[in-house]
Amino acid sequence: MSLRFVPGETVDDLIGAVREANGQGLKVTANYLGEAVTNRQQAQAAADTYLEVLDRIDREGLDAGVSLKFTQMGQDIDDAFLRENLGRVLQRADDAGIFVRFDMEGSAYVQRTLDAFETLWRDGWRNIGVVLQAYLKRTAGDVARMNELGARVRLCKGAYREPPEVAVQEMGAIRRNFVELMQVLLREGVRPGIATHDERLVDATLRFVRREGIDPGRFEFQMLYGVRRDLQQRLVEQGYAVRVYVPFGEKWYPYLMRRLAERPENVAFMVESMVKDSPLGVLFGSSAPGAGPDRTRDGARSRSRGSGGSHG
């Protein structure tokens, strides 16, 4: 099961999965698994791994960006150390025109993550974006702020267990939040990532895009590696940009267990993915969402004093 959702532990494993995804018309966000690092050597090693990933993406001309967590880079160690680690990664990414996304962690880290992001933005980095979670009650304000900056946002439902005072608990209400935020991002945001495997939300996005006449080059769908491959391919065939989040590394087991434990619907998504991609799934699979216009290639906007590139 692990290789279905995590291609392996090494950079070579990752790059093989990226090549395969690109060959299927999918863009990629690569993630080296790890978080809550409190050891300087481990944080530096994580940054070094990202440098290796960036080198390989650049050298092979792959359509991929990277996604990382601030706590993996040393946020809980020291702010100056975090900036030093991030600086190495961001400079190499900027040199290659590769986009870097900062994953959002639990609610205790949201403000710290957004503060750190805005510091980097003020410093002139433009090859960066952030993740916002629809179930958090604060997220409408965060979306407005990111749109004001012109920063790129990946919108997801949210995966961490959070108390009722912080996050919406009922799935119907979370979906309604997601749709409202999706519409704001598509109207006012900069190439948002609509990150969901939920066909109700995918269909809601497609209906809104068609009704508003929004060019498909202004956004992309984003999904996890190995989850709903059938839906990923249908959207690509209809001309939409789809990016898959490809995690790799030694910490694959905690990653999978957390995905399964945090939200019961994650189990359903994974089981459904394996069934729908099987011969039975091909025979009895659901119909595709409606057709859409031509797909366009993503482009990372580089740092104001750096060079542009074609990686997203």
Q: What is the pLDDT of residues 250-271, one digit of tens each?
A: 877 767 776 665 555 655 555 5
Q: Is the model more confident about 290 or about 33?
A: 33
Q: Is residue 160 part of a domain?
A: yes
Q: Is residue 312 part of a domain?
A: no
57 touches 22 (CB < 8 A): no
**Tell me, what CATH number does 61's domain have?**
3.20.20.220
74 touches 32 (CB < 8 A): no
For residue 297, pLDDT beyond 90: no
Q: Report the chain's mean pLDDT, rounded to a whole number.
A: 87
Q: Is residue 290 part of a domain?
A: no
Q: Examine the residue annotation and report whether 258 is marked as an active-site residue of this protein.
A: no
What pLDDT sits at residue 296? 28
Q: Which of 126, 152, 154, 301 is catalytic?
A: 154
The average pLDDT across 156-172 equals: 95
For residue 286, pLDDT beyond 80: no
> Which pLDDT band, with edges at 50, 70 and 90, does 159 fall under?
confident
Q: Is residue 310 part of a domain?
A: no
Amino acid letter for position 272:
E
> How far is Cα 10 from Cα 249, in angstroms, rounded to an integer?
6
The average pLDDT across 19-31 equals: 99
| Rounded to 5°, angle at Cα 129 from 125 and 132 | 145
What pLDDT sits at residue 3? 73
What pLDDT sits at residue 275? 54
Characterize the bridge pairing of strands 242-248 and 152-156. unpaired
Instruction: Look at the chain and report how many structural domains it folds into.
Output: 1
Q: Is residue 257 part of a domain?
A: yes
The average pLDDT across 231-250 equals: 97
SS3 290: coil
**Tokens (6 digits) for 127:** 């090859």
pTM: 0.85
> How far is Cα 41 from Cα 178, in angstroms, rounded to an integer?
38
**Tokens (6 digits) for 113:** 């993550």
**Tokens (6 digits) for 228:** 């709903």
> How far is Cα 138 from Cα 165, in angstroms, rounded to an integer?
11
Q: Which of 58, 94, 103, 277 is catalytic?
A: 103
Q: Examine the residue annotation and report whether 83 is marked as an active-site residue of this protein.
A: no
Segments forming the whole domain that contains residue 24: 2-284
For residue 66, pLDDT beyond 70: yes
For residue 290, pLDDT beyond 50: no
54 touches 270 (CB < 8 A): no
Q: Is residue 289 part of a domain?
A: no
